[in-house]
Structure 1
């Protein structure tokens, strides 16, 4: 899981290094084409992949893939316009939003402890985005919208049947983003891609597939409630790479907010593990 988080942040870093020189949809299209090529080349080596899904699972895959398109657009747009660590800190609220979403959509029981942790965690998010201050802008809203789409993606993933291969879901998401960007790129002129940007885009495609691969392998053999907290190592990578590559370091209020979000997220995961633990035999 730590390898997965490192790969995803490296993907974000490589994408951000293009600095907007390559239009957003053109970048997503190129990265998607490279990712699809790599998946085809490695077909079957990253895990089973087939299309024999039930109608219910196809519906969930469609919802998940649509959410992936929305998340990619708003996340990458925010990534180009705000510090990497700030964006990653906002994304650390996902365990909280997924828990809240499961309670609202699937009527899963959430006790007062987890609900209180969610409220405190959202206070931490407010410290990061700073509404009503000069530090608050449209890109903070884009990051929050990205969190919403990723929450929808994760909630739909939780309802998929166990028979659905993870790589089939991944391939569908990559196809959806690439297909959307194929048509969307015609709204902007095609920009020449320098050799340095080709390297960055290719590296981003490789890292994003590494992230998926490590995540899939982890989910196969690991206890989800145990390995989920290791997702927070992504924030450490974002802090380090944001400082080394872009010279960004969050202000104290952002670090405080990120700490609150991480702490409440860990508590939420801990409580979920406690409440779902099977009772000992009598």
Structure 2
């Protein structure tokens, strides 16, 4: 690719990444409005959000039946189960904690990926990366503030979501050795909604019924924005390098904070910016160290 075309593609990728962050902020606001304000159960909200997103994404995800061919069905189920668990915990988190706190804590996911890569995939992790992990979790501790009277067990839900999504990411990385991207995508779509459906029907989970027009509209918007945001992410990664795009993913933090203030009056304390700064700095260090390692290997 010519340099000017590469620069143009990188710019479009960055804009798409920022647009995805803005749309995900809208998703989080709609989910928090439906669950925290209107009282919709988190499993119910999650089912409808991803069910609507699935219907909207299907035209772009059409693949042949041959993509169903796999010898690793249990691994596909486990991978999607991790993803569903993360989605459910994220929904519970948004139902009980401010947006700024939830979105700050979900940024811990890369550090869980590093830990999992070392313990499960037996990858070599440098001392610098371990230091970055410690700094990142120090930032998470500042945001959690377990010494504060405002701390509750629900605050840990976004942390659990970050860990489960990291597990799903690790499985995806490991499975790409034998599975095609089409197969991975197809099984994700085929299993995500049925698992969310089953969880919504568990006792005391809330069921599927929504009795509020406002809640229906909020979840419809959340589902459509989820589909658009996922499409924007896919396009961004298709036209620009992942390492270049990663810093733009952090732009989602001010979007979420801003909408949280406007919609709910959730004004974050100064400790949020300190903790988030530590997390972002540590994650950028992880990214830079990974790029240096890749350069040495090349």
Alignment of 1:206 onto 2:224? yes
In 2, Cα distance between the equivalents of 1:227 and 1:262? 14
Return the match for 1:3 from 14, 19, 24.
Answer: 19
Shift of 1:120: 1.1
Alignment of 1:114 onto 2:139? no
SS at match of 1:159: helix
C-alpha root-mean-square deviation of aligned residues, in Å?
2.3
Shift of 1:176: 4.1
- Deviation sequence 1:4-46 (CA, Å, 0-9, x none): 2222221111111112522223222333332333234x2xx35
Alignment of 1:172 onto 2:190? yes
In 2, Cα distance between the equivalents of 1:260 and 1:194? 41
TM-score between the two structures when normalised by the length of structure 2 = 0.84
Gaps of 5+ in 1: none
Q: Is the 8 A contact 2:21 2:229 kept in 1?
A: yes
Q: Is the 8 A contact 2:200 2:207 kept in 1?
A: no
- Structure-1 residue corresponding to 2:99: 84
Matches of residues 4-153 of structure 1 in structure 2 within 5 Å?
A: 4-18=20-34, 19-40=37-58, 42=59, 45-46=60-61, 48=63, 50=65, 51-56=67-72, 58-153=73-168
In 1, Cα distance between the equivalents of 2:39 and 2:133? 38
Gaps of 5+ in 2: 1-16
- Structure-1 residue corresponding to 2:5: none
Question: Measured at CA, do residues 171 and 189 of structure 1 come closer, stay the same or move farther in structure 2, by a change above 3 Å?
Answer: closer
In 2, Cα distance between the equivalents of 1:37 and 1:189? 20
**Matched pairs, number:** 276
Matches of residues 132-281 of structure 1 in structure 2 within 5 Å?
A: 132-161=147-176, 163-165=180-182, 167-172=185-190, 174-184=192-202, 187-188=205-206, 192-277=210-295
- Deviation sequence 1:103-147 (CA, Å, 0-9, x none): 111111111111111111111110000123213211112222112
- Deviation sequence 1:130-174 (CA, Å, 0-9, x none): 123213211112222112111111111212326222642541353
Q: Is the 8 A contact 2:83 2:164 kept in 1?
A: yes
SS at match of 1:268: helix
Q: Is the 8 A contact 1:14 1:204 kept in 2?
A: yes
Q: Is the 8 A contact 1:90 1:125 kept in 2?
A: yes
Shift of 1:262: 0.6
Question: Measured at CA, do residues 270 and 29 of structure 1 come closer, stay the same or move farther in structure 2, by a change above 3 Å?
Answer: same
Q: Post-superposition, which runs of at least 4 consecutive aligned residues in structure 1 deviate over 4 A?
A: 46-50, 189-192
Shift of 1:269: 0.7
